[in-house]
Amino acid sequence: GECSAFKERFMECLRHSGYESAACRQRAMAYLECRMDRRVQLMANEPLEKLGFKDLINEKSEEKPEK
């Protein structure tokens, strides 16, 4: 249940978008990150680029202010 909040937000997005998964990619990525980050190995660690989120990762890094 550690990632259930992420899963629920993703599922809610799917319901609101008529199950258009492309509209919910940010939430899908957050859910997968949660699963990979948990110490109990809910999911094997894979680079998010390999899972099809390279464009979202680039957006994330552009949003971060430089130090």
pLDDT computed for residue 35 by the predictor: 84
31 CB-contact burial (10 Å; exposed 0-12 / middle 13-18 / buried 19+): buried
pLDDT computed for residue 6 by the predictor: 94
23 lies in a domain?
Answer: yes
Report helix, strand and coil shares of the chain as percent, to nearest 5. Answer: 60, 0, 40
pLDDT computed for residue 28 by the predictor: 93
39 lies in a domain?
Answer: yes
12 lies in a domain?
Answer: yes
Contacts with 9 (C-beta within 8 Å, 6 or more apart), sequence order: 27, 30, 31
Q: For 1-67, list the strands marked E by DSSP.
A: none
pTM attached to this predicted model: 0.64
Total count of domains within the chain:
1
pLDDT computed for residue 11 by the predictor: 96
Range of the domain at 19: 3-60
pLDDT in tens, the chain (67 residues): 888 999 999 999 999 999 998 999 999 999 988 888 876 566 677 778 888 888 887 666 556 555 4
